Structure 1
Amino acid sequence: MIRVRQLEVLCAVIDLGTTSGAAEALSVSQPAVSNMIRHIEDIVGFPLFKREKGRLVPTPEALHIAQEAQHLFSQQKRVDRIINQLRGGTVGQLNVIATPSVGYSLLPRLITEFTRPRPRVQLSIEMGSVDEIIQRLISGRADLGFSITMPRHTALSVRPMATGRMVCLCPEGHELAHARSVNVLDLNHVRHISYGSGTPLGQMIDEVYRQEGLERRYFCEVRHTATALQMVAAGAGVALVDNFAMLSGPPPGTVMREVEPPLPVTLHGVTSNLFPTSHVAMQFQSFVREALSDPGQGSAME
């Protein structure tokens, strides 16, 4: 069987007409090229060249083989190009699932920036709870997850992407909107949208009240930051939301205020240990970490 390297030598000799010219082009010795041609002729069982006036003239059979070889070379270049694109994360499938506060605000902007130089990346984006993130990752239906709450499962790898904080979102004109910062304890005295004590965010806020010997009170319980954000935007009350949910700024008709004491939150990137993480998913995870470490990204990190 003729190998690709042998075909390269054959085509070089046909193109240049001499073994010395082919040797120089291929960065090998002239005897090596001559030996290769003889070896190819032994394999195929017929002559490939005639010598005329110091040049090697290919036979019709040699020209036919060389023509077919060009298709092989083109395919090889295409495969190499695809491998380089995959290595660079410019093609592939990226299946992402995120909690709503991340998925509705942060993710669209970052994915748009990531895919702009990678137009051949195929995307699938889902929103879900932490439990849904876990299930999609361990079943192989998602490559990468993002969540403020840390998913806990032995089959998952969880990496911190960025550190943020909880802020108080108020309707414009609300009494708390006039303050430079809002004490978390003051939320008990106004219409307050918050998270149940069974949720990680609710437990974090409960701890502030517990340390003061108080019980947290609120009129509306939600599970996701995104829901709280929409309730505030509708004028229903105030709420603590993670600042990742407002990368592009507060919704119209609302204002954002810092809270005391500070309530730090972490954005986590999650992958499955049960399936290989695609290169494009690893590229996007690194992109998110770098983008959110850049002060130029705006309100999410200021």
Structure 2
Amino acid sequence: MRLNARLVECFNAVMTVGTVTAAATMLNTSQPAVSRSIKQLESATGLKLFQREKGRLIPTAHALAFFEEVKKSFSGLDQLGRVAASLRGHQSGSVSIVCAPVFSYGFVADAASRFLDKYEAVSLSVDTQSSPTIGEWMAAQRFDIAVARYHSPPGSVIATPFSEPEEVCVLPPYHPLAARKLLTAKDLQGSRFVFLGNKDPYRFRLDTVFDRAGIDRDLVVETPHSASACSMVLKGAGIAIVNPFTAVDFLPHGLIMRRFANSLPFTTTLLRARHRPASPLVDLFIKELYLTRDRYLEIAARALE
């Protein structure tokens, strides 16, 4: 007779509850079946595990030593059960995210913090890259999720529109133009400007607006990131026109946000790797991203009233 899991299970039950009758009840089987399994286990191991006295099984020294090893095995199985239950309840696992810099200052941190409050055993991997690089990395299936300014994702990526709010004008505290709710290109004539690098597509659109209106700006600071632009504005370096997601993060510090008369939609896309293993946790994190998006846009709307 070869050693097998059922024989060990019967032995563990007898050692745990003390009698063959109680072990049979525990295992939902018959008393003879348990007794037979104990005899087969002794035959398979070559060990005398029990003394039989008046119908009772008295564990031998070999049984006690063997039971210590069995408990370790069952402890491992219990842990596997706990892991499985945790996975079923979406309580453990990992999610990897890569995002454009515009979302890295506060947005993704906000989403991640709220997500981890709900799923404490989950780990997150977060990276920040330019949108073209994000497209390449997602095509290579390196991350589960991405949020980027990306319009032509490769076929190995599932793309969904994420947001398209209007860009906003941001001003330092107590700026004279802060009294107005809507600012036009003409209102900004001669203003000191903090602007994004000339390779930024939104910078090109903005330049076109002012060029067509014949409006001169004093371009005093160039920076590649909207968060840097907001920091410069907050310190009084000038005015900037940026996306509302970044602007919202600076509102608690006193940044002023105003509507810009020209329509400059800030379009972003949610990307998901098509060939990475499916995970409920990824779906849950995507849900948190949408909730965070809605919160940010609601805050922006209130600031623009």
TM category, shorter: 0.7 to 0.9
Deviations 1:68-96 (A, max 9, x none): 11001112222333344455554455543
Q: Residue 246 of structure 2 corresponds to which residue in structure 1?
A: 245
Q: Residue 131 of structure 1 corresponds to which residue in structure 2?
A: 132
Q: Residue 299 of structure 2 corresponds to which residue in structure 1?
A: 299
Measured in 2, the distance between the counterparts of 1:35 and 1:183 equals: 90
- 3-state SS of paired residue (2:167): strand
Measured in 2, the distance between the counterparts of 1:204 and 1:5 equals: 72
Distance 1:91 1:180, change over 3 A: same
Letter in 2 for 1:52: E
Distance 1:257 1:8, change over 3 A: same
Q: Is the 8 A contact 2:185 2:215 kept in 1?
A: no
Aligned counterparts, 1:170-189, within 5 A: 170-183=171-184, 186-187=187-188
Deviations 1:223-249 (A, max 9, x none): 432233233223233222222113444
Q: Residue 227 of structure 1 corresponds to which residue in structure 2?
A: 228
Measured in 2, the distance between the counterparts of 1:23 and 1:215 equals: 91
- 3-state SS of paired residue (1:299): helix
Distance 1:236 1:291, change over 3 A: closer
How big is the alpha-carbon RMSD for the aligned residues of Structure 1 and Structure 2? Answer: 3.7
Distance 1:183 1:243, change over 3 A: same
Q: Residue 37 of structure 2 corresponds to which residue in structure 1?
A: 36
Q: Residue 4 of structure 1 corresponds to which residue in structure 2?
A: 5
Aligned counterparts, 1:151-300, within 5 A: 152-161=153-162, 164-183=165-184, 186-187=187-188, 190-195=191-196, 199-202=200-203, 214=213, 219=219, 222-250=223-251, 252-260=253-261, 263-276=264-277, 280-293=281-294, 299=299
Q: Is the 8 A contact 1:47 1:59 kept in 2?
A: yes
Which is worse superposed, 189-198 or 283-292? Answer: 189-198
Deviations 1:93-152 (A, max 9, x none): 554332222101212222223334555555544332112323444456544332244562
Uncovered stretches (5+) of structure 1, i.e. residues with no partner? none
Letter in 2 for 1:76: L
Letter in 1 for 2:81: D
Measured in 2, the distance between the counterparts of 1:139 and 1:245 equals: 28
- 3-state SS of paired residue (1:269): strand
Aligned counterparts, 1:13-162, within 5 A: 13-116=14-117, 118=119, 121-139=122-140, 142-150=143-151, 152-161=153-162
Measured in 2, the distance between the counterparts of 1:71 and 1:216 equals: 78
| Normalised TM-score (structure 1) | 0.77
Letter in 2 for 1:102: F
Uncovered stretches (5+) of structure 2, i.e. residues with no partner? none
Distance 1:163 1:25, change over 3 A: farther
Measured in 1, the distance between the counterparts of 2:216 and 2:54 equals: 100
How far is 1:160 from its partner? 4.2
